[in-house]
Amino acid sequence: MQVAQKVALVTGSAHRVGKAIALGLARAGCHVMVHYHHSRSAAEATVGEIRALGVRAEMAGANLRSAAGVRELFRQTARTFERLDILVNSAATLSRASLRKASEADWDAALELNLKGAFFCIQEAARRMDVQGGVIINIADIIGLRPWKAFPLHSIAKSALITLTQVAALELAPHIRVNAVAPGLILPPEGMAPERWQALGRATPLGRPGDPQDLVRAVLFLIHEDYITGETLVVDGGMQLRLEDAP
């Protein structure tokens, strides 16, 4: 699929990797719906940056932890744009609760957004892409492929998201392609010391952390390549080859 003049919805695109993906799509000529939950001011700033690139950008607030919130997001998108060509499921939360101490609330917090929200976003997108076709990209994580003990719930959610990618690819073919990107060290978790982040980067085979643009290029590749579906593209500098435990 060519990106120029298409319409994309990027969840969680007010900041961090979601914002980088939204801006990357805009630079390629795509119109973008910026989704946020609590970060309205950040979303407004992102919309401004996208519009400065010469494409259309709007924003929509919604809580994706419920199917009702997902439906509201897609209703807002439909009212704003006449079509939807690309969905990027980027909205996520990172929980450090241990397996022994995780509560039901911890479980719900991790699974509702990282998996449930993505599922219902795919469902809603499919209803709008069935006629003209489309592309769905799920942002997974390498700890969905190689679990980290300190992040069990995140590992479970992202592993399930990778399986969801494969299930959706089967169900929605041939008109809708569904793939995932599993990043490694792209942006440090909030609160991580810079020294620890750089040490983790040096421990990868490529000897450095990644950059959001590495993830953006992977997303664009999967959108462009029309004969790839059901795949998870790992973007981690080889980190999973040496993965031991969570930072």
Q: Is the pLDDT of residue 190 over 90?
A: no
Q: What is the pLDDT of residue 244?
A: 57
Q: Is the pLDDT of residue 246 over 80?
A: no
Single-letter code of the amino acid located at 74: F
Domain boundaries defined on the chain: 7-241
Q: Is the pLDDT of residue 199 over 90?
A: yes
pLDDT in tens, 71-83: 999 999 999 998 9
Q: Is the pLDDT of residue 184 over 60?
A: yes
Identify the residue whose tokens are 């031991």: 244
Query: What CATH number labels 7-241?
Result: 3.40.50.720
Q: What is the pLDDT of residue 247?
A: 47
Please answer whether residues 128 and 222 qualify as being in contact, where contact means their C-beta atoms are separated by less than 8 angstroms.
Answer: no
Kindly report the backbone phi and psi dihedral angles of residue 93, in degrees, each rounded to the nearest multiple of 5, phi listed first. -135, 150
What beta strand segments (E) does 46-121 contain?
57-61, 86-89
**Most confident segment among 40-54, 142-156, 231-245:** 40-54
**Most confident segment among 105-114, 140-149, 158-167, 182-191:** 158-167
pLDDT in tens, 217-237: 999 999 999 999 999 999 999
The pTM assigned to this predicted structure is 0.94
The neighbour count for residue 225, using CB atoms within 10 Å, is 15
3 state SS for 43-86: HHHHHHHHHCCCCCEEEEECCCCCHHHHHHHHHHHHHHCCCCCE
Identify the residue whose tokens are 């479970």: 156
Confidence of residue 243 (pLDDT cuts 50, 70, 90): low
Q: What is the pLDDT of residue 241?
A: 86
Task: Tell me the mean pLDDT in the region 196-225.
Answer: 95
Q: Is the pLDDT of residue 95 over 90?
A: no
